[in-house]
Amino acid sequence: MTRTSHVLTVSVFAVALTGFANAQADPRAAVLDQLTGLLVGDYFSAADGGASEGRPIYMRIRRVEPPPGKRHALYAEMRHDNINGELYRQRLFLFDETSGPAAITMLTLAFEDPAAAARLIENPAAARALKTNDALAPGCDTVWYRDGAAFVGRVDPTTCRITGRRGDQRRIEAVTRIEAASMGQLERGFDLQGKLLFGNAEATLYIWPRVTRK
């Protein structure tokens, strides 16, 4: 090896190490790794916590292949009654990886082909090929904050406004708390004057215990 090639090799190696060290030292990347790591898992509601009375919801969140330029993408699936039950809802979660570490914005997308999306549990690499669209109105993204060993995600009712089925304007508040043992959720709706339209007045989170599959 010539001296020139040796110097070039050492320089390239040094640049690579510097890039790795910068990635490791980036607090935004570390916090996002921790948040997504906590979100991944299986959760099972009680019978009174489902979308239909007496029908529990089984929820799975899995890592899938992220789109170009992203490090993280999560697939969330809800089914009635059990892990193999009737499909209720599917979402793709992406993250603003330039935000944080104090606040991380999560984007929520819906799938155009639910049957293809359901196969992401077994084939996470297929996520890039699936077409999606915005699942939420502008201003309704979840913003995550650290709370000790947990994270709390909030949808701000001052920015999240939707149109109800009767054409009325509503403000939506949502809170999600994710920790090692469980996920807690709250969703409430208000009219523009602040009157509670749905959800509990005490702002009590409904708890989804995390389950371990064997």
The 10s digit of each residue's pLDDT in 1-20 is 444 433 333 333 333 333 43
How many alpha carbons lie under 13 Å from residue 113 in its C-beta half-sphere? 11
Print burial letters for 51-85: b (CB count within 10 Å at least 16), e (below 16): eeeebbbbbbbbbbbbeeeeebbbbbbbbebeeee
Indicate whether 58 belongs to any domain: yes
Decide if 11 is inside a domain.
no
Does 22 fall in a domain?
no
Note the pLDDT tens digit of each residue in 39-79.
Answer: 999 999 987 765 556 789 999 999 999 999 999 999 999 99
DSSP 69: T
Instruction: Find, among 26, 67, 59, the residue nearest to 40 by Cα.
Output: 59
Q: What's the domain range around 150?
A: 30-211
Q: Please state the domain count of the chain.
A: 1
| Domain contains 162 | yes
51 falls within a domain: yes
pLDDT (tens digit per residue) in 171-210? 999 999 999 999 999 999 999 999 999 998 999 999 999 9
DSSP E strands in the chain: the ranges are 41-44, 57-63, 74-80, 87-95, 104-111, 132-134, 142-147, 150-155, 161-163, 169-178, 182-190, 196-198, 206-211
Distance CA 64, CA 16 (A): 27
Task: Residue 97: give its domain's CATH number.
Answer: 2.40.128.590
What's the average model confidence in pLDDT over 139-148?
96
> Is 6 among the domain residues?
no
203 lies in some domain: yes
Rounded to whole angstroms, the Cα distance separating 52 from 57 reads 9
Cα separation, 54 vs 126, whole angstroms: 34
